[in-house]
Amino acid sequence: MIFEEKTISSKLVYEGPVFKVRQHVVETRGGEALRDVVEHTGGAIMVAVRDDGKVLMERQFRKPLEQVILELPAGKADPGEDPLVTATRELSEETGYTPGEVRHLISYYPTCGYSNEFLHIYICRDIVEGETHWDDTECMDIVAYEADELVDMIMRGEIKDSKTIIGILYARMAGEI
C-alpha cells in the first residue's frame, strides 16, 4: 500500500544561487519525520553531434569531487524557462555551438530521494561553431569523441557523471549516435 506523506509544516533553511533547501515536517505511518528537500529549477543536457559524428563533451573541474570530470554540456534552467530554450542557450554559452535541430530524448529525476530537480536531455544536430560565452566563474575544455569511444569509457568506469551516462547510453540505444 502506498502512503502519501502529509506536510505538517515547512521552512526554508538555505537559499543559494543554484538551489534552495526546505525542511518539511511530515506525517508518516509511524508518526512525524523530517524531510530535507533540495529545490532546483531543473536543467537541460545536450548530446550535441557534429557533422563528423563526434559528440561534444566538456572537461571541467567539479569542486564537490575535487577533480576534473568529462561530461556532456548541460545547464540550469532559469525559473519558468522552457527546457528547449535552456538547451539551446546553454549549448551556445558553454561550447560556442548553435544547433540547427534540437529534439527531446528523455526527461528524468536524477535524485528523487531528496530533490525535485527534473532534467531534460536533447539531441542537437546541424551544429554551427561559434564563440563561447562563459560566465566569469566558468572554465572548461571543449572536446569531441566518437560515440563508440564514449560508450567504452562509460563501460570501463571512466565516465562517472550520471547525466552523461544516461544521455550517451540513451542516445545510443535510440539509434541517435
Residue 139 has pLDDT above 90, yes or no: no
Look up the pTM and report it.
0.91
Which of these ranges, 2-6, 69-73, 106-110, 132-136, has the smallest mean pLDDT? 132-136
Instruction: Determine the pLDDT at residue 133.
Output: 78
Residue 13's pLDDT band, with cuts at 50, 70 and 90, is: very high
Report the first-to-last Cα separation within the chain, whole angstroms. Answer: 41
Query: What is the mean predicted confidence (pLDDT) over 107-127?
Result: 96
CA distance 145 to 46: 14
